A = this chain, B = another copy of it.
Amino acid sequence: MKNEAFSESIEMYLKTVSELADSEDLVPISALAERLGVSTVSATEMVHRLKKQDLLEHLPYKGVSLTVHGGRRACRVIRRHRLWERFLVDYLGLPWEKVHDYACRLEHATDTAVTEALAIFLDNPRTCPHGNPIPSPDGEMPDISDIPLIQMQPGDRGIISRIHPESILLLDYLAGRDIRPDQPVEFEEIAPFNGPLMVKIGEQTHALGQEIAAHIFVNCEDEVRNDEIA
Contacts and interface: CB of A to CB of B under 8 A. Distances in A.
What is the interface of chain A mostly: helix, strand, loop, or mixed?
helix
B94 A113 contact: yes
Interface in A52-98: 88, 91-94, 98
B109 A94 contact: no
A94 B116 CA distance: 10
A102 interface: yes
A105 interface: yes
B91 A121 contact: yes
A114 interface: yes
B110 A106 contact: yes
A110 to B, nearest CB: 7
Given A92-B117, A117-B94, A109 B108 contact: yes
Nearest to A118: B92
A105 B113 contact: no
A111 interface: yes
A109 to B, nearest CB: 4
Nearest to A98: B113
Contacts of A88: 114, 117
A46 B118 CA distance: 36
A105 B94 contact: no
B105 A110 contact: yes
Q: Which 9 A-B pairs have the closest CB atoms?
A: A92-B117, A109-B109, A105-B109, A106-B109, A102-B114, A102-B111, A92-B121, A94-B117, A91-B121
Given A92-B120, A93-B121, A94-B114, 17 more contacts: A88-B114, A91-B121, A92-B117, A92-B118, A92-B121, A93-B117, A94-B113, A94-B117, A98-B113, A102-B110, A102-B111, A102-B113, A102-B114, A105-B109, A105-B110, A106-B109, A108-B109
